[in-house]
Chains A and B, each alone.
Chain A
Amino acid sequence: MQSSNLGSESLWKKLFGEPIRAFGIVSALLLVLLAIAPAKNYFSEWRHYQNGYLRLIRTRGDAITLQRHFQPGIQQIWNPELGVTDRCMSCHVGLKEASLTDVSQQPYRKHPVIPHATDQFGCVMCHRGQGAATTIEEAHSSTRAWEQPILPARYTESGCGQCHRAELESTPQLNQGRALLARYGCVQCHTIKLSDGGVMQAAQDAPSLSHIADKTTREWIFAWLKDPQSYAVSAAMPNFKLKDEDIRDISAFLIANSSPIPGDTLPAFNQKATPDPTAGASLYGESFCASCHAVQNAAGNLVGGNVGPELTRIGSKAKPEWLRAWVRNPRIYDAKTEMPHYRFTDQQVATMEGFLLAKSDSDFLANVHLEPATPEQVTHGKSLVMEYGCASCHEMAGIKKPENFAPELTRVGSKSVSQLIFLPGIPHRMPDYIASKIRQPRAFASGLKMPQYTFTTSQIDALTTALLAQNDRAQTVPPSLTVPAPPRSHYRPAGKAGQIMSDLACFSCHSINGRGGDMAPDLTWEGSSVQRKWLDEFFRNPGTLRPALIRRMPKFNLSNEDIATLSDYIMTVYQNPDIDRDSMPESGYSPTLVEQGKQLFYSKYACQSCHIVNVKADKGYVGPTLTSIGSRLTGAWIYHWLKNPQALRPGTVEPNRNLSDDEARQLTAFLMMQKGTIKKEAGKQ
């Protein structure tokens, strides 16, 4: 101990014994210390990559241009409004060089073309990561101080969703994710607030359970709750993974809580259900039930639309008397249903009832045997219904919709990762957390209530993308930079016509003034577009203008009085202010004008590539058949349509040909002469 003390003392003396030597050594030390900063800078990663970039471009044909664009040193995008300080281009030097398309080596790749300038928005808006960092590790990975690593490319569209509330054509994944959040009722339990002060809304309410005993049996409820997808593969209802006793009690409560629909207003019905598969299938086809309802075919594929519930096993679910009343007039059971009131004849109702009841699956209820419910079971069932928040989606007599039932997801995308519990084997990153939570919600702990959904990988990716867009930034982006969603239209047509339209559920397929479905044409300007005679005839006997389409307008057996009311309303109210119906006549065009139009149609503009005027010669059927367009549309509408189709129906595929006024008039004259014969049209259907 002493000797080492002596040794260090002598070393001290050796080094600092003499003042000059001491000065020299201290200076040398100081120099080394001073050199650390420049050396760190000199050996920094970004300088290494910049030198690599210079070597890369040296041999290229446009080396001089590229060298001129190159700026050495740390590069930074600064946008205080967005809170962006991004130094990514210090290493990603070639981001903006259009000529580097063939370079696949990172970090020198050119950025793919996007609609925004990188200078304006920076990088982290879409890619996340730590923009201000200047080392690979810190910029890309999550550190203790920075929890948002680079976002995997599959979720990049979430960046768009931070500012764009309106649907973008070019972000299919984000759109799908938002649609799924609305369709599968996620937002019924989880509140998602939007930066504009609104709240994300569910696409539709789940069926009311206040009168469920009218509709189905306790056995069906049991089997359904046990596994909704075993009844209908496309069911939106998730699996709550309940114990058999719990399902027994919930079903007991639902039946006990149900009250019959008051006041049966339907007239007496004496027909018996007729099990005639041929007539049933043809009525099902003629009524275009498949436009909204799907049925699983023998190969297991779903055929049909998804507006209404799947009907593969409807016979195992619906009570015959309920089904009959529903087919006669669905609005008596559910005033808000999207199902039209078909006005079937009694014979048709009997056929349809027989046809649907035959769609049953004897295996589905085979193993369900329930004893009569005890009052204790009903009470327990009620407490389970409260516990699982069933009333969040389903209206239920006597039970209020719970508020804030599940955690709010307004800022879920920037939730702190350190507060979360991860499943084993899942990387500690937000997107992976969200995806695994959606994939297996019950795996995180016991006693959780979130149900099990049956989403595909791409659906989970889409949902994750939509949820990642719900983050701090989305809430704090300056309003001037956000693109709000168009306000939800609550348009309702007035008067008697309005009643008929809601009875026929026109808005399930057609859109008017921003409200309604997109399965059928928008009718906002229908009154300017069509001729009264055609409209009346169409209501009586709807044909199709596009033979290639599977979905068509059903026949509603409307009375003459109803047709007159609807036509009057449509012709008066749904008028485009810019179109004067009387500016072009219905007939009486000069043969010269018609001939000029014909030349334009067939030679100059070759409209026959998509449309058919002459059934024998023309074959195009991208657009509607025009054989009787002169009896259907008004001249003024055709003229304005030809001049600018997108102005009348935004997003229509028909190209704008930039026609002169004369050309548009000539083509209108030719088309207005195509009167067809309505009888022939109807006969063809």
Chain B
Amino acid sequence: MTGQRLLFDCLLLALPAWALMAGTGCSRKSVAAAAPAPAYGSAIVESSGGTQIGAAGSALGQPVVVQVNDDQNNAVTGAAVSFKGPGGVVFDPPNGITDSSGQFSTVVTLGGMAGRYEIVATTITKAQKPVAVKIEEIALDYQRRLGQILDDKYCSRCHNPESTPERVSNYDNLEVKPHPFTEGETLNKLSDADLTGIISHGGPALNKSPLMPPYGYTLSRTEIQALIAYIRMVSDPPYQAPGMVYAQK
């Protein structure tokens, strides 16, 4: 009885599959199924390429690289990885398998709108459970990109502690340490008006160190606004604009 039932079930399943193959006239799909048994990891981590800042709508400068590890934290070769992101984000390629060092890399093109983009890389464990890692990238619109260019020219030499041979940071040489622009805990507490004041009139405008010079006679109003918009965009944790303020009754 059960045998008959099984046969029936098989027939039932096989029929549409056969119809599909005959209908599309494509026999490649069955070849793909014969690929070597895939490897499975138990965790996926970001290797590089996270929190990049790029122009809205364009490809990020560095590829995003993730690594699949097993229980012993060893890299797994041949594990399937797929990338997903919000609308407008394009991955090249969107999925594939990890290379000999357990890594998979993709070039990410961000959407046309400025903002923070959360992209997700997923792999499947042996138990067929998906595990994922979230990676955040930042897209800048015209104004914020202008801010980024200005930051690069005027601010980052002191405000960015990272030093490279091409561009030595002045951060360590300053008695009073400047706040890196990603330092949301501090900078988010300052209003736009405060930031405008510090940038235009220097540190003493807010009773802070005179080591921060004034740029009010060097940068235009538009440029200072662009700089602030950029600082708000890169701050971590993200900056929340204050809501409307109403007069109390």
Contact = CB atoms under 8 A, between A and B. Distances in A.
Contacts of A603: 210
Given A112-B142, A154-B57, A655 B168 contact: no
Interface in A639-685: 646, 653, 655-658
Contacts of A156: 57, 142
A268 B67 CA distance: 63
Interface string A70-114: 000000000000000000000000000001011010000100111
A458 interface: yes
Interface in B167-220: 168, 170, 173-174, 209-218
B112 A622 contact: no
Interface stretch (A165-173, A341-349, A381-389, A447-455): A165-173
Interface in A144-192: 152-154, 156, 169-170, 172-173
Contact of B209 (A173, A548, A606, A655): A606
A104 B115 contact: yes
Interface in A457-501: 457-458, 461
Contact of B210 (A61, A62, A461, A604): A604
10 contacts: A61-B244, A62-B244, A112-B114, A169-B146, A550-B166, A606-B213, A609-B174, A609-B213, A621-B168, A658-B216
A303 B147 CA distance: 29
A170 B146 contact: yes
A606 B211 contact: yes
Contacts of B59: 154, 457-458, 461
A619 B109 CA distance: 41
Interface in A124-154: 152-154
A653 B157 CA distance: 11
B58 to A, nearest CB: 4
B109 A154 contact: yes
What are the 8 A-B residue pairs with the smallest beta carbon separation, nearest first? A153-B57, A153-B112, A619-B173, A112-B141, A656-B217, A113-B143, A609-B211, A606-B210
Q: Which among B58, B145, B216 has the highest number of chain A CB atoms within 10 Å?
A: B58
A657 B203 CA distance: 13
Interface string B126-162: 0000000000000001110110010001100110000
B113 interface: yes
A261 interface: no
A62 to B, nearest CB: 6
Contacts of B214: 655, 657-658
Given A153-B112, A173-B55, A606-B210, A658 B142 contact: no
Contacts of A609: 158, 170, 173-174, 211-213
Contact of B149 (A104, A170, A608): A170
Contacts of B61: 458
A243 to B, nearest CB: 33
Nearest to B139: A153
Nearest to B146: A170
Contacts of B244: 61-62, 99
Nearest to B209: A606
A605 interface: yes
Contacts of B145: 170, 172
B28 to A, nearest CB: 17
B82 interface: no
A619 B176 CA distance: 12
Interface string A523-560: 00000000000000000000000001010000000000
Which of B146, B212, B226 has the most A CB atoms < 10 Å from its CB? B146
Contacts of B166: 550
Chain A interface, >50% SS class:
loop
Interface in B50-88: 55-59, 61
B241 A153 contact: no
B180 to A, nearest CB: 16
A408 B102 CA distance: 48
Interface in B39-56: 55-56
B149 A169 contact: yes
B165 interface: yes
B149 A620 contact: no
Nearest to B145: A170
B166 to A, nearest CB: 7
A114 B114 CA distance: 13
A458 B109 CA distance: 10
Contacts of B212: 609
A606 B210 CA distance: 6
A552 to B, nearest CB: 14
A152 B113 CA distance: 11
A425 interface: no
